[in-house]
Amino acid sequence: MTIKDRDFDLIVSKLGFKTRETDHLHAWFEYDGKVVARTRRSRKRGDLPMQNAIRQQMKLSDDQVRDAIRCTFGHSEYVAHLKSRGII
């Protein structure tokens, strides 16, 4: 699965990640005041480097990333997924 810069931005927005821009775009997901997932992407345009690491840091499978891009996996599904894995 290929993750482009605009796909990353779409996913973090849909799933409710907070972001901060520095030399990279940092994104983190908070639940009940605790950070449970964090990742970042470079400013590079197009296909992102370290795509597998980004997906793993967000605690998502390839199918879930595809579903988030297609708008069928959102914030509530993400919270349910994290709960089912015992992360939150």
β-pair type (25-31, 18-21): antiparallel
Give me the helix-helix angle, 62-69 and 5-15, nearest 10°: 90
Q: Where are the domains of the chain?
A: 5-84
Q: Which residue has the tokens 């840091």?
A: 57
Q: Where are the alpha helices (DSSP H) in the chain?
A: 5-15, 51-57, 62-69, 75-84
Q: What pLDDT does residue 75 have?
A: 95
Q: What is the pLDDT of residues 15-66, one digit of tens each?
A: 999 999 999 999 999 999 999 999 999 887 888 888 899 999 999 999 999 9
Question: Residue 12 and residue 82: Cα distance in Å, rounded?
Answer: 15
Output the pTM of the full model. Answer: 0.87
